[in-house]
A and B are shown apart, each in its own frame.
Chain A
């Protein structure tokens, strides 16, 4: 309990706290269970990925079982992490993007025998170039992103956000103002991201200026993240 003294020397409670125990996962939304019980085959034209959400925590991808966590960003658009891989399922547009072993696969999900020749999510191209934003993950915990080319982002993590590093990144346009961004690379010592971080995947909504995502790397369990944006600088 966060207690402070008042002027009379009496302890009074203050439930407001910095939730340090959650680290960069502090503002993570509640998990979403809407996909439980559903299944899709995701086809990119050359390969098919059979994805079944058995229950709220277990899924299979091509019959391999995984623990999964799902966050919902906007209506009918889900960010699913299983292991260090990610599926963005966009049921509104009937599109899906997988990030498997670091490789991006944009495909079409279908759940019956009908195999649609649908559109797919596409590379964001230069959409994000010039975007500077600070993503707030918790109290005093944030990461600054400055997308200065199509495949490079300048990254600074709190509390050493002035110590920026240029990282490779790639972005997929999901729809409207929603982008899936993958930033590869490590983090300096002494920042709010876990030591050993090697990849940050974020589903960013530049309309509502909120995001969901995950941080993965060596030596720690993947961390699910959510939060909001504030102007950089």
Chain B
């Protein structure tokens, strides 16, 4: 048989996802955060952890972990007490063991009274306390490094998309006609003035960045009419190797039923040329 035809499940952006990494099991971290809300994270098992913020009672969670390189981890979990509510919370950490630095992303659903599915993202930078070592002064930081980058990401055997990082607060997406993205995610954009979306960019180290987008403009304009309702997507991008790993957190609209959406993903990249019309189009969401 041609194994290309193997009867696999339907994959979306998760087909090329790298496997979950459990090598942090048994380790404990104390993150000293710039916000003042320090955090303790004990990795108690292959997919279980205990976390506490600012000395509060530790809480158990089920985590997922992917690696951006040998020493950089993307680890996230949903706050268990918020599961099954309309106010789900997800904590995501970029744990940078090489530099003893950490970035924490707290994503919360249900903060906006008009748009209850919107995901609010809050970033906090900090350092990992290491016994016998001074805390580093430097931090992961917001960056303009990615501005000008145009990249094609291969998510699965049928889907590839093209990103243009043209602003520190937005990104722009397109896809070629032979990509399944045209069929699977393209339709809502036909009703929108552009594919621009809210985003921010954090430098982790040379050639490694956290790119984070939230499908906020889509949700504001097409509330309830799209498959994905304001997902937050966090990409740990490795431009040394040209791949990324990441996770989504948000809500999926399944025939009118709003269900939690949390997916790990990964993709392989390559440089791409994009048309001047696409690159030079105005961002209709800004003055």
Tally of contacts, chain A with chain B, CB under 8 A: 126
How distant is the Cα of A139 from the Cα of B271 in the complex, in angstroms?
8
Q: Pick the contact of B239: A16, A27, A131, A229 (CB < 8 A).
A: A16
Which residues of A lie under 8 Å from residue B21 when comparing CB positions?
32, 34, 72
Known: A72-B19, A74-B19. A13 touches B147 (CB 8 A): yes
The yes or no answer to A127 lying at the interface (CB within 8 A) is yes
Q: Answer yes or no: A102 CB below 8 A from chain B CBs.
A: no
> What's the minimum C-beta distance from A219 to chain B, rounded to whole angstroms?
24
List B168-201 residues whose CB lies under 8 Å from chain A: none
Number of interface residues of A (CB under 8 A): 48
Find out whether the CB atom of B271 lies under 8 angstroms from the CB atom of A30. Answer: no
Contacts of A206 in B (CB 8 A): 3-4, 6, 8
Q: Residue of A at shortest CB range from B238?
A: A30
Q: Which residue of A lies closest to B154 (CB)?
A: A228
Min CB distance A141 to B, Å, is 10
For A138, the chain B residues whose CB sits under 8 A away are: 242
**Closest approach, in angstroms, between the C-beta of B243 and any C-beta of chain A?**
6
Known: A16-B151, A34-B21, A72-B19. A131 touches B270 (CB 8 A): no
**Contact of B6 with A15 in the complex, beta carbons under 8 Å:** no
Tell me the chain A residues, 1-44 only, with Cβ under 8 Å from chain B. Answer: 2, 4, 12-19, 22, 26-34, 36
Contact across chains for B268 and A227 when beta carbons are under 8 A apart? yes
User: Is B131 an interface position by the 8 A CB rule?
Assistant: no
Select B149's contact among A14, A30, A128, A231, beta carbons within 8 Å.
Answer: A14
Q: Which residues 69-114 in B have Cβ within 8 Å of A in the complex? A: 69-70, 72
A210 within 8 A of B: yes
Q: How near does chain A come to B162, taking the closest CB pair, in angstroms?
A: 10
Neighbouring A residues of B226 by C-beta, 8 Å: none
Q: Which of B9-17, B34-42, B51-59 contacts A (4 or more CB under 8 A)?
A: B9-17
User: Count of chain B residues with Cβ under 8 Å from any Cβ of A?
Assistant: 44
B247 at the interface (CB under 8 A from A): no
Task: Tell me whether chain B's interface is mostly helix, strand or loop, or mixed.
Answer: loop
- Residue B22, interface by CB 8 Å: yes
Q: Return B164 CB to nearest CB of chain A, in Å.
A: 10
B270 (CB) vs chain A CBs: closest residue: A139
Q: Name the residue on B nearest A133 (C-beta).
A: B4
Contact A14 B3, CB 8 Å, known A72-B19, A75-B19: no
Q: Which residues of A contact B9 (CB under 8 A)?
A: 207
What would 7 more interface pairs be, CB under 8 Å, given A2-B271, A136-B154, A231-B4? Answer: A15-B239, A19-B241, A128-B3, A177-B6, A206-B8, A208-B11, A209-B156
- Sampled A-B contacts (29; CB under 8 Å): A13-B148, A16-B269, A16-B270, A16-B271, A18-B270, A19-B241, A22-B240, A27-B243, A30-B67, A30-B72, A32-B23, A34-B22, A36-B23, A74-B19, A127-B1, A130-B1, A136-B154, A138-B242, A139-B269, A139-B270, A139-B271, A177-B6, A206-B8, A207-B9, A208-B15, A209-B157, A228-B16, A228-B154, A229-B4
Q: Measuring CB to CB, which residues of chain A are less than 8 angstroms from any residue of chain B?
A: 2, 4, 12-19, 22, 26-34, 36, 72-75, 127-133, 136, 138-140, 177, 179, 206-210, 227-231
